[in-house]
A and B are shown apart, each in its own frame.
Chain A
Amino acid sequence: MIRPLPVMLAILLSLFVTSLTIGAAQVSLRAAGSDAWAALVLMESRLPRTLAVVLTGAALAVAGTVMQQIVRNKFVGPDTTGTSESAGLGLLLMTILAPDSPVWVRMLVASLTALAGSAAFILLIRRLPAREVMLVPVAGIILSGVIGAVVTFIAWRYDLVQYVGTWLAAGGSSGIIAGRYETLWVAGAAAIAAWFAADRFAILGLGDNVAKGLGLDPAPVMRLGLMVVSVVSALVVVTVGMIPFVGLVVPNIVSRIMGDDLRRSIPVVATAGAALVSACDIIGRLVIYPYEVPVGLIMGIVGSVIFLILLYRPTRPST
């Protein structure tokens, strides 16, 4: 039996190093110690970008797990529940109403609107007929569409369609290049908070009644979960652009392989998410070198192919 976490960590580390060494300028890691220019390239461009990618992937994947637990449905992710679109709406409103506000204010507002969007989703699905499990993802997709339509409509009226496109179209990746990655640490922190509350989320996933029976008040756990998901989505949309798939797919794969013991699986989910997005970023930088293909696009292709393979791999004989 191979242990998933060490394997994933090893993969992530090698991807991390690879990410540092590729790019338009030839820089070797060993040279960085002696060569000031190489060190500059590394510290100012490569490292921030690589960290941004790793943080994004990890945080999105964990946010997906949390979302799936609070919704109790495997087919949702932050990008299919209206959360990302809501963040985009907040950002758009700030751009129109208060264009001079500092970045952190915009992010705060985007996080708040994302929170409102996720809360709306939860309210919505709570009122769905109980047995209709498959309607939950559909409700989320529709809600995303509705909010996305509002964003597009406003953007269209204010001639900001192109601008909005950079975050909402798959993988604008503007943030990574511009190096505004520092705020992503907050997303990383939110993911770590989720890990600390892993058991609570696991119990919440069993249903409100079970949680109450075990002496856990579901409401605060739900609120914490919503905050994690919203903060992560908002920060990622604002700095990196929308990256599809990670939050939906990585938790599903990990859960199929190692089950839903969240305390054990969240670290694996985080590393797997980070590794997946890193790999896609690297591919995006190499495929039409020296030009770049946005990471969200590569993510869409690579992620979906891997996922389909996993989904349809023949089940092993049980004996």
Chain B
Amino acid sequence: MSQIAPTTRLIALLALLLAVVSALWVWQGLPDNGRAFILNLRLTKLVGLITVGAAVAVSTVLFQTVAANRVLTPSIMGFDALYMLMQTVLVIVLGTTAYVTLPASGKFLTEVGVLCALAILLFGTLLGKGARDIGRTILTGVILGILFRSADSFLGQLLDPDTFATVQSTQIASFNTIDADLLPWAVGISLAAIALAIRLGPQLDVLALGRNTAVPLGLRHSALVIGALALVGVLVSVSTALVGPVTFFGLIVAGLTHGLAGTARHRILLPVAALIAATILVAGQFLFERALGLGGTLAVVIEFAGGLFFIHLLLKGRVR
């Protein structure tokens, strides 16, 4: 169709932009001493940032499609809070020592699996019927988010300080400290999930029409909802495990994507979203860590700048 050319150009442009900021990130001011070590450090972080960006972006776009709504995101509906709650429960059930000595990969895969199951159970029932009363659904999501977060902090209060510290270290958003042990797993899992999502593209396009329209078109609605939610669960686990909860980033990226892409086709939306998110994260971290020397504050600034931009889009009526 007619909009294929501009969208391919957009994707190429974004990919180029990401390549440039990545190159800048890796080679800018590389010292002569300990080159290999620093290079390794920077590459690890680069891969981590790109993975997180792509995971947040794709999961948000998917979730908005499942909900047939542009204002819901996994974090607004309490997904990452659920992940953290699950982690705390895991620490309590296993005990601190067991939790710490558990191999990172096994722990991570268990968490991914459990979150998927919970996501399907909870949000499948909530959204599967096509959410008759969308107001009620949003309200439910916000409430669930508060419930999970409060329950998590509550359990935290019951823990002894040592254990609490173990748990808390994983639960504060920071792009500064990316867990390198998890990275290969996170990259592999999210690549698989994103590839699957892109494969499902045409079906997702129909899903986005809402249940009343999609079912008569012969879409296997419930199956696709469950599948998409499972992918969301996987991707949210990845991003939360790597950097902690990033509340508004997904909303911002999805808003930007829908505003920029000018199409509703997921084969285009999903890569565009992933590229935008990765570029923002890498460029942002570069700016803050190298230029401003404020490495720890990127998460805060993203909330701020992205939030302002989102409000701007809202006012222009471009976010729906």
- Which residues of A pack against B, CB within 8 Å? 74-75, 80, 124, 127-129, 132-135, 137-139, 141-143, 145-146, 148-150, 152-153, 156, 170, 244-245, 248-249, 252, 288, 293, 297-301, 303-305, 307-308, 311-312
B1 near A: Cβ within 8 Å?
Answer: no
In the complex, besides A124-B311, A150-B304, 8 extra interface pairs with C-beta distance below 8 angstroms are: A135-B319, A138-B314, A153-B304, A297-B154, A300-B150, A301-B151, A301-B154, A307-B143
Contact call A305/B147, Cβ cutoff below 8 A: yes
Bound-state Cα–Cα, A134 to B247, Å:
18
Contacting B304 at CB < 8 Å: which of A127, A149, A244, A299? A149
Known: A128-B314, A132-B320, A305-B147. A149 touches B135 (CB 8 A): no
Instruction: List the B side residues contacting A311 at CB < 8 Å.
Output: 136, 139-140, 143
B208 near A: Cβ within 8 Å?
Answer: no
Contact call B138/A75, Cβ cutoff below 8 A: yes
- Which residue of chain A has the shortest Cβ distance to B157 in the bound complex? A293
Known: A134-B135, A293-B157, A298-B154. A142 touches B71 (CB 8 A): no
Known: A135-B314, A311-B139. A293 touches B154 (CB 8 A): yes
Known: A142-B310, A153-B300. A300 touches B149 (CB 8 A): yes
Offer 29 A-B interface pairs, CB within 8 angstroms, sorted by A.
A75-B138, A75-B139, A75-B142, A124-B315, A127-B315, A134-B69, A134-B138, A138-B76, A138-B314, A139-B311, A142-B248, A143-B311, A146-B308, A148-B303, A153-B301, A156-B300, A244-B146, A252-B139, A288-B158, A298-B154, A300-B147, A300-B153, A301-B150, A301-B154, A304-B147, A304-B150, A311-B140, A311-B143, A312-B140
Contacting A304 at CB < 8 Å: which of B71, B134, B143, B319? B143
Contacting A134 at CB < 8 Å: which of B71, B301, B311? B71
Contact call A149/B303, Cβ cutoff below 8 A: yes
Contact call B307/A146, Cβ cutoff below 8 A: yes
Instruction: List the A side residues contacting B314 at CB < 8 Å.
Output: 124, 128, 135, 138-139, 142
Q: How large is the interface on B (under 10, 10 to 19, 20 to 34, 35 or more residues)?
A: 35 or more
B193 near A: Cβ within 8 Å?
Answer: no
Nearest CB of B to A78, in Å? 14
Instruction: List the B side residues contacting A75 at CB < 8 Å.
Output: 135, 138-139, 142
- Which residue of chain B has the shortest Cβ distance to A79 in the bound complex? B146
Instruction: List the B side residues contacting A132 at CB < 8 Å.
Output: 320
B144 near A: Cβ within 8 Å?
Answer: yes
B34 near A: Cβ within 8 Å?
Answer: no
Contact call A149/B300, Cβ cutoff below 8 A: yes
Contact call B147/A145, Cβ cutoff below 8 A: no
Instruction: List the B side residues contacting A150 at CB < 8 Å.
Output: 304
B251 near A: Cβ within 8 Å?
Answer: yes
Instruction: List the A side residues contacting B142 at CB < 8 Å.
Output: 75, 80, 137, 248
B29 near A: Cβ within 8 Å?
Answer: no
Nearest CB of A to B131, in Å? 11
Instruction: List the A side residues contacting B158 at CB < 8 Å.
Output: 288
Contact call A129/B247, Cβ cutoff below 8 A: no
Bound-state Cα–Cα, A162 to B147, Å:
23
Contacting A308 at CB < 8 Å: which of B140, B154, B247, B311? B140
B317 near A: Cβ within 8 Å?
Answer: yes
Bound-state Cα–Cα, A152 to B143, Å:
24
B297 near A: Cβ within 8 Å?
Answer: yes
Contacting B146 at CB < 8 Å: which of A137, A148, A245, A312? A245
Instruction: List the B side residues contacting A145 at CB < 8 Å.
Output: 247-248, 303-304, 307
Nearest CB of A to B306, in Å? 9
Nearest CB of B to A164, in Å? 12
Nearest CB of A to B309, in Å? 10
Bound-state Cα–Cα, A308 to B141, Å:
10
Instruction: List the B side residues contacting A293 at CB < 8 Å.
Output: 154, 157
| Complex A-B, nearest 8 residue pairs according to Cβ-Cβ distance, in ascending order | A300-B150, A304-B147, A149-B304, A146-B307, A149-B303, A138-B71, A129-B317, A304-B143
Instruction: List the B side residues contacting A138 at CB < 8 Å.
Output: 71, 76, 251, 314
Bound-state Cα–Cα, A142 to B254, Å:
14
Instruction: List the A side residues contacting B310 at CB < 8 Å.
Output: 142
Contact call B303/A146, Cβ cutoff below 8 A: yes
Nearest CB of A to B152, in Å? 10
Instruction: List the B side residues contacting A170 at CB < 8 Å.
Output: 149-150, 153
Nearest CB of A to B245, in Å? 12
Bound-state Cα–Cα, A80 to B142, Å:
10
